[in-house]
Homo-oligomer: A and B are copies of this chain.
């Protein structure tokens, strides 16, 4: 089944925002074993949108359009698809009702903007795709041999709709009862090139199951994808390859599938009845934010102290003034004092402290020098990291590293 994607938005052609949706959808199509042959971007212009949609519809079996289905006047995907399909727009009173009720529930403080009702129109004959994360409904309609799907441009809304609405329909269309099963192995602590080297021969040999790598903020994901007639058959294809990958990468693999590092840490803490907290400087609260990103975080996470000003490192965390004067704020000694202070002031079993020089101006140490200290009831560790990139990258890599060093310290306790 041949799929194309079309992103709508003049802001994309002006370079004001990046088309991150394109890669997200491309990855999902690949994981689903669907062939993605063309990707395009067109502005908020009826003539050019209709031309792009018509050209794609002549070439492919399914076209996924992102963007242009919101409430404002420049959202014209509905009109363009209707024109290509040669059908009128119809008004959905039931959807208007749902919209008004949702608004009353979510925004009791704001008047309902009548222009929201643009979202109750859809091409005659189109099926609705529910929007779990927003107000703009998606839709799908057949034009000759091509299924056209319209989904929102807002990434969170788009992703939910593609995962829950579009891909299931496409897999069904794909038919043949063929299933695609993917196994995601998550690793940290190796360069992507190194992972590539260690798995090169498997990668070269990989046909079915296929192997792909994806690097993100210091973590490397290894995706093993099998196509088969049944779930069992697909898993049987994946199992030996996964075993070999695990044999080579070893304990640098910290989780599989949905086991994010946040989830893994929570599980390890829960199994020990431990709580956690953070003491942060350069990361400004990012580590705490990540530890609280999961539902039910309060079961293990108690709190954070972000002591950005050095006197707060002393007044709240009890870091001895002489430690800072002797060794500086970006030092292993200060990080160790911060983590011990966090354990007592936050009353936690496990604490992690991060201090460093995130840039752009160096602070005591070269930009990218980040120090992570971890303390558990049984051991204390400290690591000095040298991280690449700009301020935001350094902070994000440091937060990821801090979480992985917490996991290691817990496992070694």
Q: Which residues of A contact B (CB under 8 A)?
A: 10-20, 22-30, 36-45, 48, 52, 55, 70-74, 106-111, 113-116, 133-134, 154, 156, 182, 191-197, 200, 203-204, 212-215, 223, 225, 275, 278, 280, 283-289, 291-293, 295-298, 301-309, 311-312, 315-316, 345-347, 359-361, 368, 385-393
Contact = CB atoms under 8 A, between A and B. Distances in A.
A412 B92 CA distance: 45
Given A192-B71, A196-B115, A14 B39 contact: no
A388 B107 contact: yes
A13 B26 contact: yes
A15 B30 contact: yes
Given A193-B115, A193-B116, A223 B295 contact: no
A212 B14 CA distance: 10
Given A38-B48, A156-B389, A283-B289, 9 more contacts: A19-B23, A108-B386, A115-B194, A116-B193, A278-B306, A285-B306, A303-B306, A303-B307, A305-B316
A155 to B, nearest CB: 10
* Dominant secondary structure of chain A at its interface with chain B: mixed
* Copies of this chain in the oligomer: 2
Contacts of A306: 278, 285, 288, 292, 303-306
B389 A133 contact: yes
Contact of A302 (B38, B42, B191, B308): B308
B42 A30 contact: no
Contacts of A45: 37
Contacts of A304: 284-285, 304-306, 308
In the A-B complex, list the 5 residue pairs whose CB atoms are closest, starting with the nearest.
A285-B285, A284-B292, A15-B27, A15-B26, A113-B193
Given A212-B11, A305-B305, A20 B18 contact: yes
